[in-house]
Structure 1
Amino acid sequence: MKAKFLLLLTVFFFQFLDAQSARQELITEVCACFDNIPEETGFKVENLKECFDFTKDKYKSLMEKIVVQEIDTSDIGSKTSYEVGYDYGKKLFNEVQKPLIETCDSYYRFVKELKNVLVSNSIKGVTQSKLEDLQEAYTNGNASPDEILLVGINELFIGHHDSALQLFQNCLKKKSNHLMANFFLALTYDLKSEYELAVQSYNSIINQGIEPITSVAILFKEAALLDKN
């Protein structure tokens, strides 16, 4: 019995080392993907999906090593193979953010740029006339939380951080659990270089565990922690 236990322990130990090595190699591959993005094209949101596509052939063998160790040490219950793959892909994505942001300059720059891209994309398609109507409704006290949010995002987009912050806070007074208001509040603190408050706000979003916003909050939080230090 003792010999069997030692054998299992040895197998687990080498699986663990293999998985750790595979994780590091995966981080290196993802970083190389971002390094290879031409400067003239700039970073795009699509780069995130492209560089984290764990179904690619070059990632598959690494993923197998990582997932084998994870499955051997986890209770997967009645999950299907697809659910297991999705769960571990998401878990791994979140796990590698800290080392990637700390060690990969191109990825760090991508995350920094992504913050501004997210703001501009969130206001895209909203006409100036619509924004003026929303602003008037807010001034008159008739705006809904979602409408206040939109006015706040526009203020953030044009660089009025303080007024954006106030708008998001007012939105949360009307609806304290408004996920996107909480997210943009965190992002505003971040863009104002108030990293301590940004990290606290990102953590409150992460604790809710609602995807995909949780994964985005993890990205931004890790970058904010690096900036803070």
Structure 2
Amino acid sequence: MHLTQLNRECLLHLFSFLDADSRSSLAATCPQLRAVFEDPALWSCLHFRSAAELARAHFVLGPALRSLAVCWPPSRVRGCGVEDWLKSALQRSICSRHESLVSDLLRRVCARCPNLTTLTLAGCGHVTDDCLTGVLLRCPRLRTLRLENCARVTNRTLAAAAAHGHALSTLHVDFCRNVSAAGLRQLRDARPHLRLSADRSAEMAPDLPPEPAPRRRAPR
């Protein structure tokens, strides 16, 4: 029996054992397998471990997505956590290759994945409060949000979680240096039953842009 003679349910089951790249390679062999690859039911969970893996876009976003994780070790995204005004030319060059990848992915998730329940971001130094606020607004079933070492996350994300995370039961903001103790207290007061973790976040030095040098008065 040829592979394409199997029914849709069997093909979906076989595809479920493959990683994203292998699914994409198999889908390129014929239209029938491509149709199986594009079935949203196959993509209920996505986990990206590198910028290159995400950039290949060998996946499908749809209403079946329940769990999304982007976990990049610091060695693969060097410079992302460095303040913009302190980055070297090399660090800016490295960041420019992937700085919008996760933000673009989250915007697409907001548009296509209303049933997302779990989002994990680790080492995503370019993700902003605006992106996370969008997820909280557009994914009303989100129950778990885990953020680790996300340098641009601030108290605005905590405020968005309090205002819009109606289904949120677990929030981690670990090693997020721009989250303050005051912001955490306000969230705990607003959502006392929320399981909140902020390992080291409020203890780390926040990013403070350098003060402009005082202007020198021209001699009279």
Q: TM-score, normalised by structure 2?
A: 0.28
Q: Which has the higher contact order (CA 8 A, sep 6+)?
A: 1
Identify, as 1 or 2, the structure richer in strand.
Answer: 2
Structure with the higher helix share, 1 or 2 = 1
TM-score by length of 1: 0.27
